[in-house]
Structure 1
Amino acid sequence: MPHVDRSYIRVKSMVALLNPANDHVAVALFDDPTKSPRHFHRLVGGSVLLGEKAADAARREVREEIGIDLLDLGAALGVLENVFDYRGEAGHEVVFVFAACVDESIIPGHGGWFSDNGDRMWVEWRSLTSPPPIPLYPDGAADLVVRG
């Protein structure tokens, strides 16, 4: 994973990719050996580029990471502030959270590997009503999606 300069606040767009057949959302699985629990989930998405609208960034990031074009992306569900520590480095993000329904076939039932700008990324389905015992970031995302 390339080094990311976390010395400034980053603006991100993330998407809750919802499976309309059940209460699951597609999430990326990450690892931080400095934490317990070591693993955590994040919504799919990434940085908003200079001059790019948050919704456009959300569509671009999903296309880059999952390989699908989102046609039904609505208004943002909300904006979250995420102050965190990742692998011993402080981070601070302002995250626009969107939701979109996707066909469950885009991600195998057990999860699958996807490419994020050349880096491998594991994406799996996470239940919103019976979540696993690992955190979902950004904090507050699950509440936004359930209310959304």
Structure 2
Amino acid sequence: MVNAIVDGNAIADWAFVNGQKSELFNIPAALHLLGSNFDEISYVTTKSQHGDAQSLLYGNIKSAIEHPSLSDWKQLFFLTMFVERCVLIVYERDTDSIAILDSHTHRYFGALIAVSQHGNFHQFCAFIIRHFFPETLKLKPAKMVKLFNNFFLKQT
């Protein structure tokens, strides 16, 4: 993960020096700059004024994991964003496990990685919200509009 952070920062610096107008990148632009072998296949943003952060996270990822047309995919990758911070969530079908990787600095500690069995997915989502996005706990559902984005990626 450290190499990915260092490499990503170097690529972002290069892009900024070579004409990128902002230090912020959308997902397709970031994938292009990285020469990634991933493609964005779905982009979900909340339009609902119902449901809290945990429900949004749980419902969107669960629907992809259980979707019949994706049942032969061994791994599912999600870039999940709440309140302008993005984390990577990976579901591994063979082990029926789900993991979150976050390179941001958190209060008294640095990057976080957490893994859970899919059977504990609902509790895992609660853990993610409490530890990775605690500011969303204070938001009423109406305020969640446009604060949640979920990008579903496929390795090509």
- Confirm or deny a common fold (TM above 0.5): no
Larger Rg over CA atoms: 2
TM normalised by structure 2 equals: 0.25
Q: When you count strand as a share of all residues, which structure comes out higher?
A: 1
